[in-house]
């Protein structure tokens, strides 16, 4: 997990690295959907770095309900919030 806030605008690659480190996923896709949210709340005007979709499967999710699984993802990405991560759509896969 990242121990200090990222210095730059979040990227899909940076989020992916944090999730791989924290959750050791067996499946992972991170997509930056920020451009589709231009003009919406939380958009930064750059067209990237604010709105992401994560599709993930991880053995760390075993025995956890959906809320707890999402909490694990949010915890892994917590430091990106200060750098501009505004919205995160999470799809947990089996």
Residue 41 pLDDT greater than 70, yes or no:
no
Predicted pLDDT of residue 88? 95
Q: For all residues of the chain together, what is the average pLDDT?
A: 85
Instruction: Give the tens place of pLDDT for each residue, 58-77.
Output: 999 999 999 999 999 999 99
Q: What are phi and psi of 8, to 5 degrees?
A: -110, 175
- How far apart CA 55 and CA 78 sit, in angstroms, is 17
CATH number for the domain that contains residue 62? 3.30.300.90
- In-domain check, residue 87: yes
**Is a pLDDT exceeding 70 seen at residue 19?**
yes
Does the residue 76 lie in any domain?
yes
More confident residue, 36 or 58: 58
- Tell me the residue range of the domain where 19 lies: 12-92
Q: How many domains is the chain partitioned into structurally?
A: 1
The residues pairing with 53 across neighbouring beta strands, listed in sequence order, are 31, 89
Q: How confident is the model at residue 1 (pLDDT cuts 50, 70, 90)?
A: very low
């Amino acid at each position: 997990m990242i121990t200090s806030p990222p210095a730059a605008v979040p990227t899909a690659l940076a989020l992916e690295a944090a999730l791989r480190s924290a959750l050791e996923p067996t499946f992972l896709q991170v997509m930056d959907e920020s451009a589709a949210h231009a003009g919406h709340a939380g958009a930064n005007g750059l067209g990237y770095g604010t709105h992401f979709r994560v599709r993930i499967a991880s053995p760390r999710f075993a025995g956890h309900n959906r809320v707890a699984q999402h909490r694990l993802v949010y915890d892994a990405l917590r430091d990106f919030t200060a750098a501009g991560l505004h919205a995160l759509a999470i799809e947990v896969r089996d």
